[in-house]
Amino acid sequence: MDSIIINGGVPLHGVIEVGGSKNDALAIIVAALLVPGETILHNVPHISDVVRLLDILRHLGARADFRDDGALLIDASRLTTSEAPQELVQQMRASFNLLGVLLSRFGTASVAMPGGCNIGARPVNFHIKGLEQLGATLQLDHGVYHGSVKRFTGTNLYLEFPSAGATQHLMSAACCARGVTVIENCAQEPEVVNFAHFLNSCGAQITGIGTSTIVVKGVDSLRPTEFNVLPDRLQAGTYILGAAITGGDVIVRNAVAEHSRPLLSKLAETGVEITTMSNGIRVRRTSRIHSTDIRTLPHPGFPTDLQQPFAAMLCLADGVSILTETVYESRFRYTTELQRMGADIRVEGSTAVITGVPQLTGAPVACTDLRGGAAVVVAGLAAHGETVVTELEHLDRGYEDLVRNLKNLGANIRRSNTDAVGRPIVV
């Protein structure tokens, strides 16, 4: 069992480059199956969710390989089945959008209910309702949705919640529908905006991009394209919080300031110095961390995916901070791990009350989910003594080169195997 061992207390200094966005890459890779030809994607992160998704694409008959120059080539000219492999689909959330994509290409599809981080119920009712309104017939049998449609027919859709995945799913189903589809109350995350630009680069006719109302004028088919995946604002935010909690001075290259506006605005409230540049963000902390309150919201509100590492930093703030999680119903499981490190956190329903403490101490902790793992790593960077982080499979889903990047910033960190009782065996 792998573990990450951190001896904290070292202020991070230096420059790192942030990689491609997991949430952008996964959505675009799924939609590449709409294109009966070659799609070339740049800046795709090498993370386990991408590896798994590419295995699903190959199972469906597509070619999916990284070229020597690092670009990902997907050739979906000849798909051989519209039945997605159940055991792979169940391991991640983004693969569910294959349902609308395969229905659009084949007229039939079978896709299992998705998996993903254990942070709440995560139903897919908005996806199903929208696909049915577009004309699909869907049946759930033993956890697998079986669907059929002659051709999607454009219509007016309304999302009761601005769901990122449902917005992307319904956009991709509407691309080659007959007629016009209007989707109201859309998500506006940067990855949803970039996804619409990807579809338009394939010949789709989408307008209203970046607003809450998207209009998709159906076309007969999409064409091959070459496209760039966004830098990952969530990885960038995690490194920024690592620099802030350790009182360091770090430049995160490629980070896009406008994608991180909610985070940077909140960080400024805590006394952290932020300097935005044309190709990155500089973060410095030279004073005490001030407490602040956070309420997660759909973009452009504070991102639910950074609530966890931000909470780690607030454990060392002067005063009491209140975090309210409005997007998921159980995204505080990681707080028990921070409590092992001496954090003073009380969770009541969708609210966590964090009372700052003078210091955190290293401890054996587990990743409860992807961003819960980011929280314990950020805390370990500042904690006195040794922190051993296990259950790394969660972190590996969304963080590329995490240990290498933190080591390059001066952190005393390494990744190692551990024996059955968690004692590290340094390989």
Query: End-to-end alpha-carbon separation of the chain, Å?
Result: 12
Whether omega for the bond prior to residue 300 falls within 30 degrees of 0, making it cis, is yes
Within residues 363-402, the interface with ligand EPZ by CB under 6 A covers 370-371, 398
With CB under 6 A as the contact rule, which of the stretches 21-29, 143-151, 251-259, 335-343 interacts with ligand EPZ? Answer: 21-29
Both tokens of 77, joined, read 């000219």
Q: Which of 117, 175, 186, 315 is catalytic?
A: 117
Judged by beta carbon, residue 152 or residue 195, the one nearer ligand EPZ is 195
Burial of 161 (0-12, 13-18, 19+ CB in 10 A): exposed
Q: Is there binding between residue 120 and ligand EPZ (CB under 6 A)?
A: yes
Judged by beta carbon, residue 187 or residue 281, the one nearer ligand EPZ is 187
What secondary structure letter does DSSP report for 409?
A: T
Place of tokens 């049915």: 132
Q: Which residue is nearest to ligand EPZ (CB)?
A: 165
Whether the CB-CB separation of 397 and 370 falls below 8 Å is answered with yes
With CB under 6 A as the contact rule, which of the stretches 1-9, 98-106, 160-168, 275-283 interacts with ligand EPZ? Answer: 160-168
Distance of closest approach, residue 300 Cβ to ligand EPZ, in angstroms:
12
Sheet holding 225-228, edge to edge: 63-66, 72-75, 38-42, 225-228
Q: Is there binding between residue 122 and ligand EPZ (CB under 6 A)?
A: yes
Answer yes or no: 117 catalytic.
yes
Judged by beta carbon, residue 49 or residue 75, the one nearer ligand EPZ is 49
Establish how many alpha carbons lie within 13 A of residue 176's alpha carbon, considering only the half-sphere containing its beta carbon.
22
H helical segments located in 90-163: 98-106, 125-133
Both tokens of 122, joined, read 């995560």
Within residues 184-223, the interface with ligand EPZ by CB under 6 A covers 187, 189
Distance of closest approach, residue 124 Cβ to ligand EPZ, in angstroms:
5
Q: Is there binding between residue 173 and ligand EPZ (CB under 6 A)?
A: no
Chain residues in the site for ligand EPZ (CB under 6 A): 22-23, 26, 93-94, 117, 120-127, 161, 163-166, 187, 189, 234, 304-305, 327-328, 370-371, 398
Report, as residue numbers or ranges, the catalytic residues: 117
